Amino acid sequence: MVLPFDILEYNQRLKGTKQRMADKGIEVLLITDPANMNYLSGYDAWSFYVHQMMVIIIDEPQPLWIGRFQDANGARATTWIYDENVIAYPDYYVHSTTHHPMDFIAEILTQIGEGKRNIGVEMDHYYFTGKALEQLKKGLPDAKFHDGSLLVNQVRMIKSDQEIEYMRRAAKIAELAMTRGVESIRPGVRECDTAADIYYNLVKGTPEFGGEYPAIVPLLPTGENTSIPHLTWTDRPFVEGNAVIVELAGCYKRYHVPLARTVSIGQPSEKLQYLAPVVLEGIQNVLLAAKPGVTCGDLEEVWRKSIKKHGFEKEARLGYSVGLNYPPDWGEHTASIRKGDMTVLQPNMTFHLIPALWFNTDGIEISETFRVTETGCEQFTNYPQELIIRDHLDLSGQIS
Amino acid sequence: MVLPFDILEYNQRLKGTKQRMADKGIEVLLITDPANMNYLSGYDAWSFYVHQMMVIIIDEPQPLWIGRFQDANGARATTWIYDENVIAYPDYYVHSTTHHPMDFIAEILTQIGEGKRNIGVEMDHYYFTGKALEQLKKGLPDAKFHDGSLLVNQVRMIKSDQEIEYMRRAAKIAELAMTRGVESIRPGVRECDTAADIYYNLVKGTPEFGGEYPAIVPLLPTGENTSIPHLTWTDRPFVEGNAVIVELAGCYKRYHVPLARTVSIGQPSEKLQYLAPVVLEGIQNVLLAAKPGVTCGDLEEVWRKSIKKHGFEKEARLGYSVGLNYPPDWGEHTASIRKGDMTVLQPNMTFHLIPALWFNTDGIEISETFRVTETGCEQFTNYPQELIIRDHLDLSGQIS
């Protein structure tokens, strides 16, 4: 078995997690977020559509993995957890109205004497359902439950050099997919054709390293739909005059580097021509301001002042901490670049800065993913930032 | 706006949902499952990574959509819900530790006088978190909460002719992606290269209609990993003698038709040669037995007897109801083809029959997706069922 990180790095992550558990009075942490399971153990499989869990016990060196019988081999194959700590529930617990996996898990915790302790659960994480919470509470009536949401995510915020290296590879994949995707956009080509080109490159990766599935599919809103960021592609053909927003992320070892650009097929609208420099100036100002010691809220203020000069305001946050993840989101749900966020930037924090502007019938997205360095910040991708214009030369097939 | 179904069909779905609500004493149903939101309203966007909801009130003709401000345009664009029933929460509710979207939603329900009724929530569905449940309970102290899990899923089980037509298109896409994927498997090609070919075809679709993202990524376990169904691809090259399992689904208008095959690169192992006819015979026996009036449990018995003759037993379920879905699963979580499942087959129910056998170091998967007809069943895809052998002729590039 080859783990993506040194065992010492996993030990460090576990130590950081236990430190935070101790701070919050949590003795047993039940981890159901696939990214957090991966972060601490290496576990990597598309098995999060059934209930599964990693258990961290504050005074035990080894975690437990508990999941479906047919997935237990995957836990043995992809983690550093001892085989005897991989515990499987039978298949009749899967999508059943009579047997719930959390009943099985509660029984295991009781059997090993952990059922009466201070137990943390990831209350607001994907895949930890209301029912899961209720069944655990029923099965462990003597436990004291605590909200362990974002506990591991906080540990994840500052990346190691190896994690940064994986993000650099993800960045190469993002550049490649953006290049090929933009090249394919022309009148008559369908949105799904371009999405296919993008996906092909995201998954194939480079000759040196392959790509993985991103936690969000490539988004490709077109025409009026550029006002709606989260619609996915259709099979309608592009037409001359359309604007197209391309938002994608390269992914390597589950680490993401997102990248968004706005493309005009032929001459851009006057509005887009006016908006693009405003957004670019704002991005440059934020990137110039980003350095250790500054808060996420400070960055928002820089952006706000920058666009206010031109008469714009933005409703949504500008960005968020990014890295390791599984569907449905590549964001880490810790720091957001928005008003009032007091997160202090530290070296090797990583953010997706996506200060999109959306209006009623159009919008613009240009983004950069960056790493905080010792003295400032560094972009992961190297892709022209301006509004991309697919002119007649491009459209005739000769790509510049 | 073009909805994928006639408004009468949406009305029918809503009526079926309200009937089941009445049966269970639920007056207000809070729907957070993206597939159920889509099924009842048409809503289709990758926005389920933030909290969002559809509200069905038993004595109101119009549902509500409640979600993030930047997604509200998408609700207006993709649903039949009146614009005034699309309600947006501000962005500071997103991934915040101080503001929870369910607090906002509880306030809306209170304001419109629905806060003291019998409220159903989808307790065990993806994206309805433990925290969401707790915040709703806090915000609506006078409501009586009921478990509305699977309520809409039950309505979804019997497909309309239009849904079947969409699944037929998904089947065409599945055949295409399987054909191209299998063709690309040969020594020296990396798993990610084949996954890229598969994804390309799933998304591009046919010249007549485009494909969409499947709810589960293509799975491609190889070599020893064929014992582990849910590992995703790596960038390791295939080698002669490898077995490869390909499990994928075509997707059209969010309707899925899954298809799995097992491929041997060069001469298959004796074990695979022995297993394949056992599985094929079992599949044929199940398909012959599937017809209205038979239960899912009956089908399992047919399978069990069929493989027992050869000395095999299977731990996991053989299949499940399939159709409309979003990540992380294309299964509908209602009927499972397994011992004791009393679901009675009815015309236009649709199942993925995937009676895989997994051992310690290998496994075999061959699957069919079928529709129950008036008198029996009908397969969606037309793809050779047997173990696929990539022989030297194939491997030299001349595909038969």
Q: Alpha carbon of A194 to those of A153, A335, B120, B200: distances in Å?
A: 34, 32, 41, 10
Question: What is the Cα–Cα distance from A245 to A251, expressed in whole angstroms?
Answer: 19
- Select from B154, B166, B260, B164 the least CA-distant residue to B216: B260
Pairwise CB contact (< 8 Å): B329 & A49:
yes
Q: Which positions in chain B touch A91 (Cβ < 8 Å)? A: 315-317, 338
More confident residue, A1 or B289: B289
What integer is the mean pLDDT of A177-194?
A: 97
Residue A68, pLDDT above cutoff 70: yes
Q: Which positions in chain B touch A322 (Cβ < 8 Å)? A: none
Using an 8 Å Cβ cutoff, are A309 and A299 in contact? Answer: no
Chain A to chain B Cβ contacts (< 8 Å): 232
| pLDDT averaged over every residue in chain B | 96
Contact map slice: B 2-41 vs A, CB within 8 A: none
Decide if B43 touches A, using CB distance below 8 A.
no
Decide if A359 touches B, using CB distance below 8 A.
no
Q: Which positions in chain A touch B316 (Cβ < 8 Å)? A: 69-70, 91, 94
More confident residue, B377 or A316: B377
Among candidates B192, B203, B227 on the partner chain, residue whose Cβ is nearest the Cβ of A73: B227
Q: What single-letter DSSP state applies at residue B190?
A: B
Q: Say whether A118 sits in a helix, a strand or coil.
A: strand
- The residues, any chain, with a CB within 8 Å of residue A34's CB and separated by 6 or more, are A43, A48, A126, A127, A326
And the tokens for B252? 């059209």
Question: What is the Cα–Cα distance from A333 to A347, expressed in whole angstroms?
Answer: 19
E strands in chain A: 28-31, 53-57, 64-68, 86-89, 118-121, 144-147, 243-252, 255-265, 319-322, 331-337, 350-353, 357-358, 363-364, 368-372, 377-379, 388-390
pLDDT of res. B360? 86
Residue B8's identity, in one-letter code, is L
pLDDT of res. B169? 98
End-to-end Cα distance, chain B: 44
**Beta strands A331-337; A319-322: pairing state:** antiparallel
- Select from A69, A66, A20 the least CA-distant residue to A43: A66
Q: pLDDT band for position A399 (50/70/90)? A: very low
Q: Which positions in chain B touch A336 (Cβ < 8 Å)? A: 94-96
Residue A397, pLDDT above cutoff 60: no
Q: Alpha carbon of A98 to those of A92, B20, B230, B321, B341: distances in Å?
A: 9, 20, 25, 18, 11
| pLDDT averaged over every residue in chain A | 96
E strands in chain B: 28-31, 53-57, 64-68, 86-89, 118-121, 144-147, 243-252, 255-265, 319-322, 331-337, 350-353, 357-358, 363-364, 368-372, 377-379, 388-390
Decide if A344 touches B, using CB distance below 8 A.
no
Q: pLDDT band for position B395 (50/70/90)? A: low
Decide if A327 touches B, using CB distance below 8 A.
yes
Give the closest-approach CA distance of B379 to chain A in angstroms.
24
- The residues, any chain, with a CB within 8 Å of residue B86's CB and separated by 6 or more, are B64, B65, B72, B75, B76, B79
Pairwise CB contact (< 8 Å): A231 & B77:
yes
Residue A394, pLDDT above cutoff 70: no
- The residues, any chain, with a CB within 8 Å of residue B398's CB and separated by 6 or more, are none
What integer is the mean pLDDT of B53-62?
A: 97
Q: pLDDT band for position A360 (50/70/90)? A: confident
Question: What is the Cα–Cα distance from A137 to A62, expressed in whole angstroms?
Answer: 24
Residue A396, pLDDT above cutoff 80: no
pLDDT of res. A45? 97
Residue B204, pLDDT above cutoff 70: yes
Pairwise CB contact (< 8 Å): B231 & A197:
no
Decide if A100 touches B, using CB distance below 8 A.
yes
Q: Say whether A80 sits in a helix, a strand or coil.
A: coil
pLDDT, one tens digit per residue, over A9-59 is 999 999 999 999 999 999 999 999 999 999 999 999 999 999 999 999 999
Among candidates B129, B192, B205 on the partner chain, residue whose Cβ is nearest the Cβ of A123: B129
Give the closest-approach CA distance of B391 to chain A in angstroms.
24
Question: What is the Cα–Cα distance from A360 to A358, expressed in whole angstroms?
Answer: 7
Report CA B386 to chain centroid distance, whole Å. 24
Using an 8 Å Cβ cutoff, are B131 and A123 in contact? Answer: yes
What integer is the mean pLDDT of B218-226?
A: 94
Residue B141, pLDDT above cutoff 90: yes
End-to-end Cα distance, chain A: 44
Question: What is the Cα–Cα distance from B194 to B186, expressed in whole angstroms?
Answer: 9
Q: Alpha carbon of A314 to those of A178, A234, A311, A364: distances in Å?
A: 26, 28, 10, 12
Q: How crowded is the C-beta side of A5, counted as CA atoms within 13 Å?
A: 28
pLDDT of res. B396? 60
Using an 8 Å Cβ cutoff, are B212 and A232 in contact? Answer: yes
What integer is the mean pLDDT of A285-314?
A: 97
Pairwise CB contact (< 8 Å): A130 & B128:
yes
Report CA A246 to chain centroid distance, whole Å. 17
pLDDT of res. A400? 40
Whether complex ipTM tops 0.90:
yes
Give the closest-approach CA distance of A50 to chain B in angstroms.
9
Summary count for chain B: helices (H), strands (E): 11, 16
Can you list the domains of chain B with their CATH numbers? 7-156 (3.40.350.10), 161-395 (3.90.230.10)
pLDDT, one tens digit per residue, over A157-182 is 999 999 999 999 999 999 999 999 99
Pairwise CB contact (< 8 Å): B74 & A231:
yes
pLDDT of res. A395? 63
Residue A370's identity, in one-letter code, is F
Pick from A86, A124, A343 the residue to mutate for testing the B interface (most B CBs within 10 Å).
A124
Pairwise CB contact (< 8 Å): A199 & B201:
no
**If you compute the radius of gyration of chain A from its CA atoms, what whole number of angstroms results?**
23
pLDDT, one tens digit per residue, over B299-336 is 999 999 999 999 999 889 999 999 999 999 999 999 99
What integer is the mean pLDDT of B119-135?
A: 98
Decide if B97 touches A, using CB distance below 8 A.
yes
Give the closest-approach CA distance of A191 to chain B in angstroms.
9
Q: How crowded is the C-beta side of A22, counted as CA atoms within 13 Å?
A: 8
Chain A residue nearest residue B217, CA to CA: A213
B200: phi then psi, degrees, rounded to nearest 5: -55, -45
Contact map slice: A 182-241 vs B, CB within 8 A: 190-193, 195-197, 199-201, 203-205, 209-213, 216-217, 219, 225, 227-235
pLDDT of res. B400? 40
pLDDT of res. B393? 60
pLDDT, one tens digit per residue, over B272-288 is 999 999 999 999 999 99
Q: Which positions in chain A touch B126 (Cβ < 8 Å)? A: 49, 126-127, 129
Contact map slice: A 127-186 vs B, CB within 8 A: 127-134, 147, 149-150
